[in-house]
Structure 1
């Protein structure tokens, strides 16, 4: 183990944690696709029925794949903004990855029961919200302990993470009264992300200029 001169462990570079993150995200995304399937040996009518029944699975897969893509981008961005990790930030990063590996489970529950079972929608929304809360906590502790490059970058990243927390967190209570409305409310996240992304790009352009 690398140590500093006073004998305490030195913070680790983020490279290995980024590599681990990439692998877990890749596995989770692959597992999402494995949930989409049609039974073999069906006649023509059963086959078409099975395809119609697979539509919720495809929709849940597309939603979760897109969300995991955003989480993967955020995880890499947060880790790359800090020269070193270690201690509590590293533990939070591992907690994020543990939740990422779990995402295929609430996704399959959402695909199977989402239209009729409020708890399935609430579980999915709560999982996504918890992941983003953990990412925000990881980011805040990295900023406090190891420093994060760029005040503008910090604000943009915090706003980006906060948007997901607000959208999915607000949908949890809504799910118990109107599960379909809660699901549709998630779509608000993507235009919000687009606006925040454009603001971040404009900030970067001004700084480069």
Structure 2
């Protein structure tokens, strides 16, 4: 049985890998489309003052802002997933399961996006659900990158070691940023449940950590490229 799998024609395996990627793209497309379905303009009287129009449309504006943010997040995750897939030449059951785990959080976005609209100072659970959704996506991407770049490099195309390493580090830093920031926010709400100022300050932990890790990654990229340039002439000689 195992020998027949090994001798399976290569074009057939490429077609199966293409199906995995196309299925993922379809999930992204459906999730990003479902975001906008629930946003509808309210029924408005024929004659309203400018102020009354704004009051009537303010909830829709809020919904559209949340939709736009989720659209950006899903689009960004699609780009990251695309960057991962361009290095793949093979797949196995472990990759399929990890990819499905990632897609679970993608299809959850319409739910968490609609939930966050019900967030207020006394009910923060929808906000935490949304952050969990983001954290899950980043954790799953990091899990996939670790699996294909570190544990099963044979699943990827030969060469491009520097690009693979930098992409892996990018996913690792992205996951660590969200996981640490999310933990800081949750701990702040747990330790200071009545202090709104501390709670709002804790929101800045994610962008601050993202900026810090962005520069860490740039430094690592620069050092890696310097090392490659130094090694290349020596190999040539």
Q: Shorter-chain-normalised TM-score: which range?
A: 0.7 to 0.9
Deviating more after overlay: 36-45 vs 197-206? 197-206
Contact 2:169 2:217 (C-alpha < 8 Å) held by counterparts? no
Tell me by how many angstroms 1:105 deviates.
0.7
Corresponding residue to 1:76 among 79, 82, 90: 82
Contact 1:28 1:101 (C-alpha < 8 Å) held by counterparts? yes
SS of the aligned residue for 1:99 comes to helix
Corresponding residue to 1:27 among 25, 30, 34: 30
Deviation by residue 1:30-79 (Cα, 9 ceiling, x = unmatched): 11122322222546366432311223212211221111122111111122
Aligned to 1:94: 100
Corresponding residue to 1:150 among 150, 158, 161: 161
Evaluate the alpha carbon distance shift between residue 88 and residue 117 of structure 1 in structure 2; reply closer, same or farther with a 3 A threshold.
same
TM-score (norm 1): 0.76
Give, in whole Å, the separation in 2 of the partners of 1:200 and 1:22.
Answer: 31
Tell me by how many angstroms 1:18 deviates.
2.1
Aligned to 2:235: none
Give, in whole Å, the separation in 1 of the partners of 2:73 and 2:24.
Answer: 15
- Structure 1 consecutive aligned stretches of length 4 or more whose deviation exceeds 4 Å: 10-13, 178-209
Larger Rg: 2
Contact 2:28 2:78 (C-alpha < 8 Å) held by counterparts? yes
Q: Which residues of structure 1 form unaligned runs of 5+?
A: none
Aligned to 1:63: 69
Corresponding residue to 1:39 among 39, 42, 50: 42
Report how many residues are paired: 205
CA RMSD of aligned residues (A): 3.4
Deviation by residue 1:153-204 (Cα, 9 ceiling, x = unmatched): 3323432343333334543444564565555555547646865786688689
Evaluate the alpha carbon distance shift between residue 158 and residue 54 of structure 1 in structure 2; reply closer, same or farther with a 3 A threshold.
same
SS of the aligned residue for 2:118 comes to helix
Aligned to 1:164: 178
Deviating more after overlay: 185-194 vs 48-57? 185-194
Contact 2:39 2:60 (C-alpha < 8 Å) held by counterparts? yes
